[in-house]
Amino acid sequence: MKSGSHARLLQRGPFLIQLVGFARRTFMVPRFASWDAFNLWLKEQCRKRQADVLRGYEEMIGQRLARDTDAMADLPAAPFDACDQAAGRVTSLDLVRYKTNDYPVPVAHRHRDVWILGYVHVVVTRLVELERIDRERRLIERRINAARFPAVKSLDGFDFKAIPGLNKMQVLELARCEWIERAENVIALGPSGTGKTHVALGLGLAACQKGLSVGFTTAATLVNELMEARDERRLLRLQKQMAGYKLLIIDELGFVPLSKTGAELLFEMTSQRYECGATQITSNLPFDEWTETFGSQRLTCALLDRLTHHVNILEMNGDSYQLGQSRARKDTAIN
């Protein structure tokens, strides 16, 4: 076997030598000290090859190159701008449409005819950015809908001058939502109509925009839901849902006295959220009158002990905020 293989190898020797030589000439190049030296070597190899004639052709490589070069168009005077050009018109929303997608443009271009230059990297980058913004917007809308706000209100629309006793800087600091991450509480106290619900909604909206889950309810509604869930043997599921919110807003605590069972269920729920989730409560009653709502001093003290352990209190005393807003709108309409 060994002698036979050696004989066959000797017979194929000239072919193998040619194959190795072809591989070396075609695929292997010597080492070079610099790119300039490498380019000079390539140029010399091309010059040598111009006198060769490829199989199937009668002309030399140099003759074909000269003929093809004469047929080529001249290079433009300016560098080639690798982009797709299209005509368009900017809308009143500062958008221009390119390939079925809308892109924002400077306000100064509004209602003007423009040329759209579709560079691959710019268009793709802008498109990805717009998709990310649109996805975040949809997520915020989904969180707002899940919160069940009675109305969507922001702190930008709140008139802090109407409630001089309210610490504006404190509210704006709360809007950063760091207290929610620390599982602290906010309690807004003040007479009816002083904007407590508006501030609660504004802080809830800020939390939704920060990517946090929010739930909104009134104290009476929450207690009714807890009692119904207990009667229907689904109390644990509802308690788990309420405990899952990063921020739970309980509005109008103290407007309606609670039954003994309702007060105990509300206490149990707030205890489950203690140091696990942030809770925001609005009430028209000072703390020393909360016993009238819960009906038990012992239960009230235990509840306040948990709520006020890590708490930010908003004092919202003053004239009716809603009445002042109504008068301001009326005066504006008359003028």
- What is d(CA 287, CA 220) in angstroms, rounded to the nearest whole number? 18
Give the pLDDT of residue 27.
66
Q: Determine the 3-state secondary structure of 204 from DSSP.
A: helix
Distance of CA 49 to the CA centre of its chain: 60
**Given this model, what pLDDT does residue 67 score?**
85
User: What does the pLDDT read at residue 237?
Assistant: 95
Tens of each residue's pLDDT in the chain, 335 residues = 455 555 565 566 666 667 767 776 666 667 778 888 888 888 888 888 888 888 888 889 888 888 888 888 777 777 777 777 777 777 877 787 878 887 787 777 777 787 777 776 654 434 445 667 778 888 999 999 999 999 999 999 899 988 888 999 999 999 999 999 999 999 999 998 899 999 999 999 999 999 999 999 999 999 999 999 999 999 999 999 999 999 999 999 999 999 999 999 999 999 999 999 999 999 999 999 999 999 999 999 999 999 999 999 999 987 665 555 655 555 555 55
- Nearest to 123, CA basis, from 87, 69, 83, 169: 83
Stretch(es) of the chain classified as CATH 3.40.50.300: 148-324
What residue has token string 């007060």? 263
The residues pairing with 148 across neighbouring beta strands, listed in sequence order, are: none
Beta strands 95-98 and 214-218 are: unpaired
pTM: 0.61
Note the pLDDT of residue 1: 47
CATH class of the domain defined by 148-324: alpha beta
Question: What's the pLDDT at 216?
Answer: 98
Give residue 123's pLDDT.
41
Closest by CA to 159, choosing from 330, 326, 331, is 326
Instruction: State whether residue 78 is helix, strand or coil.
Output: coil
pLDDT at 290: 96
Residues 6+ apart with CB under 8 A from 285: 189, 253, 254, 292, 293
Q: What angle do CA 308, 314, 320 make, to 5 degrees?
A: 135
The full length of the chain comes to 335
Distance separating alpha carbons of residues 24 and 19, to the nearest angstrom = 9
97, 114 in Cβ contact below 8 A? no
